Amino acid sequence: MPLLEVRNMTHFFGGLRAVYNYNVTIEPGQIRGLIGPNGAGKSTVFNLITGIYTPTEGDILLEGQPIQGLRPDQISSRGLGRTFQNLRLWRHMTVLEHVMLARYSKLDYGLVGAFFGTAKRNREEARTRQIAMDLLKMMGIADQADQVVTNLPYGTQRRVELARALATAPRLLLLDEPTAGMNPGEALQMMEIIRQVHRELGLAIFLIEHRMKVVMDLCEIIQTLNFGEVIAEGTPEEIRNHPEVIDAYLGK
């Protein structure tokens, strides 16, 4: 069974048709890309899949179960993690607190606190801390666990965001322009981290990305969106040589 299946999804914002008859199938462990010009509808596709908006039409199935109409937190707790195009971090929290809080809140550990004694609660907290620290190690920022995020460079903040998205052990991770605003060095480091996350955690990744090197190097299959419609889908090689993609996006 596919991990995610989106069928004939259309979305209007008032009179604006942002996404039209969109289809995608993501298999477990697959790494896929979504590219296209600004305003093509890429972020809207992610916002529809993750429950920020409910599609005007179409079906979204996560492991065979319909998820359209569910709240974002419900979809997240079913195994779908994401990051946003613009950073959404808490200014006064530390790196470690971000990742631990994500795990607590999404996995509803409030219940653990309510029903079990102190010993169990302490064990859960130690385990959560361990998982969070392991993720920070994978991001290469474990030594900054106790820093407040606002004091950190932008590239590091984006790694915090990625660690937070991974804290609930999603089976599918949606990354919306993870290298946006980065300098070339930071972007290459982020690409290697994504590669490592994919290899070591074995989850599926769906990636919106502007940097062609990053998409072409990482993704097995790439879709190109233009005016809300898929105009091409294929391997990096096929996409690179696709006349319509070159016209709409890659340039001559």
Q: How far apart are CA 40 and CA 187, in angstroms?
A: 23
Rounded to the nearest whole angstrom, what is the least distance from the CB of residue 24 to ligand ADP in the complex?
A: 15
Q: How far apart are CA 31 and CA 205, in angstroms?
A: 5
Which of the 8 DSSP states describes residue 50? T
Rounded to the nearest whole angstrom, what is the least distance from the CB of residue 70 to ligand ADP in the complex?
A: 19
Q: Which is nearer to Mg ion, 55 or 79 (CB)?
A: 55
Strand order in the sheet with 204-208: 80-82, 172-176, 204-208, 31-35, 221-226, 229-234
CA separation, residue 183 to residues 35, 38, 189 (Å): 20, 20, 10
Rounded to the nearest whole angstrom, what is the least distance from the CB of residue 228 to ligand ADP in the complex?
A: 7
Rounded to the nearest whole angstrom, what is the least distance from the CB of residue 57 to ligand ADP in the complex?
A: 16
Q: Which residues bind ligand ADP (CB under 6 A)?
A: 13, 16, 18, 36, 38-44
Q: Which is nearer to ligand ADP, 149 or 222 (CB)?
A: 222
Interaction of residue 43 with Mg ion, rule CB under 5 A:
yes
Q: How far apart are CA 191 and CA 12, in angstroms?
A: 33
Residues 61-100 that bind Mg ion (CB under 5 A): 85
Question: Angle formed by the axes of helices 118-138 and 95-106, to 10°?
Answer: 120
Q: Which is nearer to ligand ADP, 41 or 81 (CB)?
A: 41
Q: Which is nearer to ligand ADP, 132 or 209 (CB)?
A: 209
Judged by the rule CB under 5 A, the positions of this chain that interact with Mg ion are 42-43, 85
